[in-house]
Structure 1
């Protein structure tokens, strides 16, 4: 089982390049980072985990700028979004950003995608929360066309463009792996667009049946990465008996010195399961 890190990169925490180097030195295989463009002051959408929304949500760095910085400081570490909020993203710009990250990292990009939960945030991007699922599906389809066709075009309900040129193309063939986040409602999206399912902190005792369900929906063996796993050996142990490709241990957002100390502890845990 591979072990990576999931975290929020913010202006208050360790810088991306320093984090990337530290992860590679400690033999973690991947870094996936969260995205929020902003948080509206007047927010009605409840935080999915309950309680007050943590400050890290207000302060996330742009994921592709941050990951490019980490790419320049590393050689092997996989670099991805966990997740990019496609409901809030222009598909042409996003296709270029992901392909550019894949190019500058020599083929190490992972495109983790999700629909999002903060309705006010997506409304500020002109997205109707009621149709965000269909919108995300169209944008993913358009991005795939832009990555794989020299003259790409797309005509849908929300996304519509005649043939265009869009470079660079990704280094990975046919494109960087798309990790689709979400629960059962996202399984058809995994089937249509996903190269893997990104399960968000699903407990090991509940994950087995969901793995069976997502694979039945897709009609194929879907790799599974579990995002946001607590840094607890007993918790990690629970995933070893499941058909899970990777777990991403959760790294709190801290200044560099505290982050490195925390990573040393997580690296000790990870070493038990490699």
Structure 2
């Protein structure tokens, strides 16, 4: 298996470039970073995992700026969003950001996307939570048009533009691989629609096989890459038995010295599975 990490990059944790170099030095092959543009003070949406909202959610760096800092100090590291909140993003601007990062990194972008859970956050972007799934799908189709057509146009319920020129185009053709977050039927349908990889977040290893069977019914042999995955021996053994090609291990958000120690622990735990 290949191993990467998924994490929240913040102004209080390890710097992106330092982390990128450290990952490659230890044989990790991917870095996926979370996104929240802000956290409303009057937040009523509960954290899906339950409990209090961790401090790291309040302080996330912009994923594309952070990954652009990682690109020039690494050679092979896959640079992923995990996940980009497309329902809070202008699709034309986001298409350009993804394509630009793909260009400057030499074709190393993985575009992880999802609809999000924080209703107050998305409302501040003008997004109606009840229709965010439709909005996500439409913005994705619009971005694909921008990446693949020289004179792109799109006409939908939420996104509408006449023919435009939009460069750069992604280095990866026809466009960077899409990773779809979420655990239900809508996520599986998006995996099928976009030829994507399923990016399940914090799904216990023991439950993953059952969910993958349902995914197969909807999206065939779509790849599966667990996000925020456990490095416990039983979990790693399950991932191996499931035949997964890549796993994104959870890396806590910590200062530099503590982050490097955590990476050493992850590298040691996974050595036998590489």
Do both proteins adopt the same fold according to a TM-score greater than 0.5, normalized to the shorter chain? yes
In the aligned structure 2, how far is the partner of 1:81 from the partner of 1:57?
A: 15
Where does residue 80 of structure 1 map in the other structure?
Answer: 80
Farther off after superposition, 67-76 or 231-240:
231-240
Counterpart position of 2:251: 251
Structure 2 residue runs of 5 or longer lacking an equivalent are none
Q: Distance in 2 between matches of 1:231 and 1:241?
A: 15
Give the aligned partner of residue 174 of structure 1.
174
Indicate the SS of the match to 1:39.
Answer: coil
Q: What is residue 260 of structure 1 aligned with on the other side?
A: 260
Give the 3-state SS of the residue equivalent to 1:225 in structure 2: coil
Work out the CA distance in 2 between the residues paired with 1:270 and 1:67: 24
**Shift of the alpha carbon at 1:270?**
1.8
TM-score, reference length from structure 1:
0.98
Cα distance in 1 for partners of 2:110, 2:15 equals 20
> 1:31–1:77: 8 Å Cα contact kept in structure 2?
yes
User: Counterpart of 1:226?
Assistant: 226
The offset of 1:241, in angstroms, is: 0.5
Residue 165 of structure 1 aligns with which residue?
A: 165
1:215 is displaced (CA, Å) by: 2.2
- In structure 1, the residue matched to 2:45 is 45
Residue 98 of structure 2: aligned partner:
98
Post-superposition Cα deviations, 1:229-250, rounded to whole Å, max 9, x if no partner, equal 1232222222111032211110
Q: C-alpha separation between the residues in 1 aligned to 2:90 and 2:148? A: 18
CA distance in 1, matches of 2:50, 2:211: 23
With the length of structure 2 as denominator, give the TM-score of the two structures: 0.98
Look up the match of 2:2: 2
User: How far apart are the structure 1 equivalents of 2:207 and 2:262?
Assistant: 28
- Offset, 1:15: 0.5
- Aligned residue for 1:111, secondary structure, equals strand
How far apart, CA to CA, are the structure 2 residues paired with 1:194 and 1:228?
A: 22
CA distance in 1, matches of 2:197, 2:110: 10
1:201 partnered with 2:217: no
Q: Distance in 2 between matches of 1:245 and 1:165?
A: 37
Give the Å deviation of 1:168. Answer: 0.4
CA contact under 8 A between 1:180 and 1:194: conserved in structure 2?
no
Query: Superposed, which structure 2 residues align to 1:129-148 within 5 Å?
Result: 129-148=129-148
Question: 5+ unaligned residues in a row in structure 1: which ranges?
Answer: none
CA–CA distance in structure 1, aligned partners of residues 225 and 218 of structure 2:
17
Contact (CA 8 Å) 2:190, 2:196: kept in 1 or not?
no
SS at match of 1:60: coil
Deviations 1:61-117 (A, max 9, x none): 000000010111100000000000011010001100000110000000000000000
What pairs with 1:3-42 in structure 2 (closer than 5 Å)? Answer: 3-42=3-42
* Distance of 1:211 and 1:230 partners within structure 2: 17
Find the aligned partners of 1:45 and 1:195 in 2 and give their Cα distance. 28
- Quote the residue 2:190 is aligned against: 189
